[in-house]
Amino acid sequence: MSSPENPSPALYAVVSHNVVPMWSEPERRSEQVSQALFGERVRRLREEGDLTLIETPDGYAGWARREHLTPCEEEMRYPAPGQEAQVSALFLPVLNAPDERAERRTLLTLGCRVELADLSDPVYATIRLPDGQTACARRDGLRTDAESEPPALIETARRFLGVPYLWGGRSPFGIDCSGFTQRVYELCGWLLPRDAYLQARAQILQPAEPETLQGGDLLFFCDDHDPRGRGITHVGIALGDGRFIHASGSLGVAVTPLKQPPYDRQFRCARRLRASGI
Protein backbone atom coordinates (compact mmCIF):
# COMPACT_ATOMS: atom_id res chain seq x y z
CA MET A 1 0.00 0.00 0.00
CA SER A 2 1.50 3.32 -1.00
CA SER A 3 1.31 6.52 0.97
CA PRO A 4 -1.51 9.00 0.25
CA GLU A 5 -0.64 11.71 -2.26
CA ASN A 6 -1.62 14.46 0.17
CA PRO A 7 -1.06 13.19 3.73
CA SER A 8 -1.74 15.32 6.78
CA PRO A 9 1.27 17.14 8.25
CA ALA A 10 3.82 14.51 9.24
CA LEU A 11 3.97 13.51 12.87
CA TYR A 12 6.08 10.72 14.28
CA ALA A 13 5.79 7.85 16.71
CA VAL A 14 7.86 4.97 18.06
CA VAL A 15 6.35 1.48 17.98
CA SER A 16 5.91 0.46 21.62
CA HIS A 17 4.34 -3.01 21.11
CA ASN A 18 6.46 -6.01 20.07
CA VAL A 19 4.72 -6.71 16.72
CA VAL A 20 2.04 -4.40 15.32
CA PRO A 21 -0.18 -5.49 12.40
CA MET A 22 -0.56 -2.99 9.54
CA TRP A 23 -3.86 -3.26 7.65
CA SER A 24 -4.67 -2.12 4.11
CA GLU A 25 -7.80 -0.24 5.25
CA PRO A 26 -8.90 1.41 8.53
CA GLU A 27 -10.63 -1.85 9.42
CA ARG A 28 -9.05 -4.66 11.44
CA ARG A 29 -10.64 -7.32 9.25
CA SER A 30 -8.90 -5.97 6.15
CA GLU A 31 -5.74 -7.50 4.65
CA GLN A 32 -2.56 -7.36 6.71
CA VAL A 33 -0.03 -5.75 4.38
CA SER A 34 2.96 -5.65 6.74
CA GLN A 35 3.98 -5.23 10.37
CA ALA A 36 5.72 -2.56 12.41
CA LEU A 37 8.20 -3.80 15.01
CA PHE A 38 9.13 -2.57 18.47
CA GLY A 39 11.48 0.41 18.45
CA GLU A 40 10.85 1.45 14.84
CA ARG A 41 10.24 5.14 14.26
CA VAL A 42 7.24 5.67 11.99
CA ARG A 43 5.44 8.56 10.36
CA ARG A 44 1.85 9.18 11.39
CA LEU A 45 -0.09 10.11 8.26
CA ARG A 46 -3.76 10.09 9.21
CA GLU A 47 -6.09 8.96 11.98
CA GLU A 48 -9.48 7.32 11.90
CA GLY A 49 -11.20 6.03 15.03
CA ASP A 50 -8.65 4.18 17.14
CA LEU A 51 -6.41 3.49 14.13
CA THR A 52 -3.51 5.48 12.68
CA LEU A 53 -2.15 5.29 9.14
CA ILE A 54 1.61 4.88 9.59
CA GLU A 55 4.61 4.67 7.28
CA THR A 56 7.51 2.44 8.34
CA PRO A 57 11.19 3.18 7.55
CA ASP A 58 10.98 1.08 4.36
CA GLY A 59 8.30 3.43 2.97
CA TYR A 60 5.42 0.99 3.49
CA ALA A 61 2.12 2.29 4.84
CA GLY A 62 -0.78 0.66 6.64
CA TRP A 63 -3.28 1.18 9.42
CA ALA A 64 -2.21 0.30 12.98
CA ARG A 65 -3.71 0.48 16.45
CA ARG A 66 -2.91 3.86 17.98
CA GLU A 67 -2.41 2.38 21.46
CA HIS A 68 0.70 0.58 20.16
CA LEU A 69 2.40 3.84 19.18
CA THR A 70 4.19 6.39 21.38
CA PRO A 71 4.01 9.85 19.74
CA CYS A 72 7.29 11.75 19.51
CA GLU A 73 8.69 14.97 18.14
CA GLU A 74 10.50 14.98 14.81
CA GLU A 75 13.90 15.45 16.43
CA MET A 76 13.39 12.69 19.02
CA ARG A 77 15.23 9.41 18.45
CA TYR A 78 14.62 6.01 20.01
CA PRO A 79 16.91 4.48 21.03
CA ALA A 80 18.90 7.56 22.01
CA PRO A 81 22.25 7.79 20.20
CA GLY A 82 24.99 5.97 22.09
CA GLN A 83 22.50 4.03 24.22
CA GLU A 84 21.15 1.52 21.77
CA ALA A 85 21.33 -2.25 21.65
CA GLN A 86 19.87 -4.81 19.30
CA VAL A 87 18.04 -7.97 20.32
CA SER A 88 20.34 -10.85 19.33
CA ALA A 89 18.10 -13.68 20.57
CA LEU A 90 15.29 -15.01 18.38
CA PHE A 91 12.93 -14.13 21.25
CA LEU A 92 13.84 -12.01 24.28
CA PRO A 93 11.57 -11.79 27.35
CA VAL A 94 11.31 -8.29 28.81
CA LEU A 95 10.65 -8.49 32.55
CA ASN A 96 9.45 -6.15 35.27
CA ALA A 97 12.48 -6.96 37.46
CA PRO A 98 15.97 -8.46 37.02
CA ASP A 99 14.81 -11.96 37.94
CA GLU A 100 13.78 -14.85 35.68
CA ARG A 101 10.74 -15.37 37.92
CA ALA A 102 9.57 -11.77 37.43
CA GLU A 103 6.43 -11.04 35.46
CA ARG A 104 7.00 -10.76 31.71
CA ARG A 105 6.05 -7.43 30.20
CA THR A 106 6.53 -8.33 26.55
CA LEU A 107 8.50 -10.63 24.23
CA LEU A 108 10.80 -8.90 21.77
CA THR A 109 12.11 -10.49 18.59
CA LEU A 110 15.44 -10.70 16.79
CA GLY A 111 16.69 -7.33 15.54
CA CYS A 112 14.47 -5.04 17.62
CA ARG A 113 16.28 -1.97 18.94
CA VAL A 114 16.11 -0.98 22.61
CA GLU A 115 17.54 1.85 24.69
CA LEU A 116 19.96 0.90 27.46
CA ALA A 117 19.39 2.64 30.78
CA ASP A 118 21.64 0.74 33.22
CA LEU A 119 24.26 -1.99 32.80
CA SER A 120 25.38 -2.29 36.42
CA ASP A 121 23.82 -5.76 36.83
CA PRO A 122 26.09 -8.43 35.29
CA VAL A 123 23.16 -10.56 34.08
CA TYR A 124 20.29 -8.18 33.34
CA ALA A 125 20.27 -4.87 31.50
CA THR A 126 17.77 -2.19 32.45
CA ILE A 127 16.19 -0.86 29.28
CA ARG A 128 14.10 2.25 28.73
CA LEU A 129 10.91 1.71 26.74
CA PRO A 130 9.56 4.28 24.24
CA ASP A 131 7.02 5.55 26.80
CA GLY A 132 9.82 6.27 29.30
CA GLN A 133 9.17 3.32 31.60
CA THR A 134 11.96 0.88 32.38
CA ALA A 135 12.14 -2.92 32.29
CA CYS A 136 14.79 -5.63 32.33
CA ALA A 137 16.19 -8.09 29.80
CA ARG A 138 19.07 -10.53 29.85
CA ARG A 139 22.30 -8.97 28.64
CA ASP A 140 23.27 -12.10 26.71
CA GLY A 141 20.18 -11.58 24.52
CA LEU A 142 21.38 -8.12 23.46
CA ARG A 143 24.34 -6.78 21.54
CA THR A 144 25.59 -3.29 20.90
CA ASP A 145 27.02 -2.19 17.58
CA ALA A 146 30.41 -1.82 19.23
CA GLU A 147 30.46 -5.40 20.50
CA SER A 148 30.57 -7.28 17.19
CA GLU A 149 30.36 -7.04 13.43
CA PRO A 150 26.96 -7.59 11.73
CA PRO A 151 26.23 -11.31 11.31
CA ALA A 152 26.60 -13.19 8.02
CA LEU A 153 23.57 -13.49 5.75
CA ILE A 154 23.38 -17.30 5.61
CA GLU A 155 23.92 -17.68 9.34
CA THR A 156 21.18 -15.14 10.00
CA ALA A 157 18.76 -16.71 7.50
CA ARG A 158 19.17 -20.15 9.09
CA ARG A 159 18.12 -18.76 12.47
CA PHE A 160 14.60 -18.38 11.05
CA LEU A 161 14.27 -22.07 10.06
CA GLY A 162 10.92 -23.39 11.27
CA VAL A 163 9.30 -19.96 11.67
CA PRO A 164 5.70 -20.25 10.39
CA TYR A 165 4.49 -18.46 7.28
CA LEU A 166 2.29 -15.40 7.80
CA TRP A 167 1.10 -13.10 5.02
CA GLY A 168 2.45 -9.63 5.81
CA GLY A 169 4.65 -10.98 8.61
CA ARG A 170 8.10 -9.60 9.46
CA SER A 171 9.03 -11.37 12.70
CA PRO A 172 9.83 -14.84 14.10
CA PHE A 173 6.20 -15.08 15.23
CA GLY A 174 5.33 -15.44 11.52
CA ILE A 175 6.85 -14.14 8.30
CA ASP A 176 6.21 -14.00 4.54
CA CYS A 177 8.74 -14.49 1.76
CA SER A 178 9.72 -10.87 1.20
CA GLY A 179 9.46 -10.06 4.91
CA PHE A 180 11.97 -12.85 5.50
CA THR A 181 14.51 -11.65 2.94
CA GLN A 182 14.07 -8.02 3.99
CA ARG A 183 14.54 -8.86 7.66
CA VAL A 184 17.61 -11.05 7.08
CA TYR A 185 19.30 -8.38 4.97
CA GLU A 186 18.35 -5.64 7.44
CA LEU A 187 19.86 -7.60 10.34
CA CYS A 188 23.09 -7.77 8.33
CA GLY A 189 23.13 -4.05 7.56
CA TRP A 190 21.27 -3.62 4.24
CA LEU A 191 17.77 -2.20 3.78
CA LEU A 192 15.63 -3.77 1.06
CA PRO A 193 12.15 -2.71 -0.08
CA ARG A 194 9.22 -4.58 1.45
CA ASP A 195 7.82 -6.44 -1.60
CA ALA A 196 9.55 -9.13 -3.67
CA TYR A 197 9.07 -7.38 -7.01
CA LEU A 198 10.57 -4.18 -5.56
CA GLN A 199 13.48 -6.11 -4.08
CA ALA A 200 14.27 -7.41 -7.59
CA ARG A 201 14.76 -3.76 -8.64
CA ALA A 202 16.70 -2.61 -5.56
CA GLN A 203 19.67 -0.39 -6.37
CA ILE A 204 21.93 -2.13 -3.85
CA LEU A 205 21.66 -5.33 -5.94
CA GLN A 206 23.05 -6.29 -9.33
CA PRO A 207 22.19 -9.16 -11.70
CA ALA A 208 23.79 -12.53 -10.95
CA GLU A 209 24.11 -15.38 -13.43
CA PRO A 210 22.22 -18.56 -12.41
CA GLU A 211 25.34 -20.63 -13.21
CA THR A 212 27.42 -18.70 -10.65
CA LEU A 213 25.06 -18.41 -7.69
CA GLN A 214 26.64 -17.63 -4.35
CA GLY A 215 25.35 -17.95 -0.82
CA GLY A 216 23.34 -14.84 0.01
CA ASP A 217 22.15 -14.11 -3.54
CA LEU A 218 18.45 -13.33 -3.81
CA LEU A 219 16.42 -15.63 -6.06
CA PHE A 220 13.16 -14.44 -7.61
CA PHE A 221 10.26 -16.54 -8.86
CA CYS A 222 6.85 -16.08 -10.47
CA ASP A 223 4.10 -18.64 -10.17
CA ASP A 224 1.22 -19.22 -12.56
CA HIS A 225 -1.03 -16.95 -10.52
CA ASP A 226 0.24 -13.37 -10.81
CA PRO A 227 -2.94 -11.28 -10.41
CA ARG A 228 -1.10 -7.96 -10.18
CA GLY A 229 1.08 -8.64 -13.20
CA ARG A 230 4.31 -7.76 -11.43
CA GLY A 231 6.32 -10.66 -12.84
CA ILE A 232 7.67 -11.62 -9.40
CA THR A 233 5.62 -13.39 -6.73
CA HIS A 234 8.23 -15.09 -4.51
CA VAL A 235 11.78 -14.58 -3.25
CA GLY A 236 14.36 -16.63 -1.36
CA ILE A 237 18.05 -16.62 -0.47
CA ALA A 238 20.56 -18.90 -2.22
CA LEU A 239 22.66 -21.14 0.04
CA GLY A 240 25.33 -21.68 -2.61
CA ASP A 241 24.90 -25.47 -2.81
CA GLY A 242 21.98 -25.75 -5.22
CA ARG A 243 19.45 -25.04 -2.49
CA PHE A 244 17.76 -21.91 -1.17
CA ILE A 245 16.07 -20.85 2.04
CA HIS A 246 12.71 -19.12 1.90
CA ALA A 247 9.41 -18.53 3.68
CA SER A 248 7.05 -20.96 1.97
CA GLY A 249 3.29 -20.68 2.30
CA SER A 250 3.04 -24.40 3.02
CA LEU A 251 6.26 -25.02 4.99
CA GLY A 252 7.20 -21.81 6.74
CA VAL A 253 10.90 -20.96 6.59
CA ALA A 254 12.55 -24.00 5.00
CA VAL A 255 15.36 -25.12 2.71
CA THR A 256 14.42 -26.29 -0.79
CA PRO A 257 16.46 -27.54 -3.80
CA LEU A 258 16.38 -24.99 -6.60
CA LYS A 259 15.71 -27.79 -9.11
CA GLN A 260 12.66 -29.01 -7.19
CA PRO A 261 9.29 -28.42 -8.92
CA PRO A 262 7.67 -25.98 -9.19
CA TYR A 263 10.61 -23.68 -8.38
CA ASP A 264 12.70 -24.99 -11.28
CA ARG A 265 10.22 -23.61 -13.83
CA GLN A 266 9.14 -20.58 -11.81
CA PHE A 267 12.67 -19.19 -11.38
CA ARG A 268 13.06 -15.80 -13.08
CA CYS A 269 16.31 -14.14 -11.99
CA ALA A 270 18.98 -13.73 -9.32
CA ARG A 271 20.40 -10.61 -7.72
CA ARG A 272 23.58 -10.05 -5.70
CA LEU A 273 24.78 -7.29 -3.39
CA ARG A 274 26.86 -4.66 -5.13
CA ALA A 275 28.91 -4.28 -1.94
CA SER A 276 31.82 -6.70 -1.60
CA GLY A 277 31.59 -9.48 0.92
CA ILE A 278 28.62 -11.18 2.54
| Rounded-to-integer distance, Cα 178 and Cα 176, Å | 6
Residue 232 one-letter amino acid: I
- 187 sits in the region (left: phi over 0; alpha: psi -120 to 50; else beta) called alpha
Residues with catalytic function? 177, 234, 246
Tens of pLDDT, residue by residue, the chain (278 residues): 444 444 444 599 999 999 999 999 999 999 999 999 999 999 999 999 999 999 999 999 999 999 999 999 888 899 999 999 999 999 999 999 999 999 999 999 999 999 999 999 999 999 999 999 999 999 999 998 766 676 799 999 999 999 999 999 999 999 999 999 999 999 999 999 999 999 999 999 999 999 999 999 999 999 888 777 789 999 999 999 999 999 999 999 999 999 999 999 999 999 999 865 44
In sequence order, the β-bridge partners of residue 189 are none
The structural domains of the chain, ordered by start, are 11-71 (2.30.30.40), 84-143 (2.30.30.40), 153-273 (3.90.1720.10)
Report the predicted TM-score, pTM, of the whole model to 2 decimal places.
0.92
Distance of CA 119 to the CA centre of its chain: 27
- Distance between CA atoms of residues 166 and 33, nearest Å: 10
Sign of CA dihedral 153, 155, 156, 158: positive
Alpha helical stretches, state H, the chain: 153-158, 177-187, 196-199, 263-266
Task: Provide the H-helix boundaries in 99-176.
Answer: 153-158
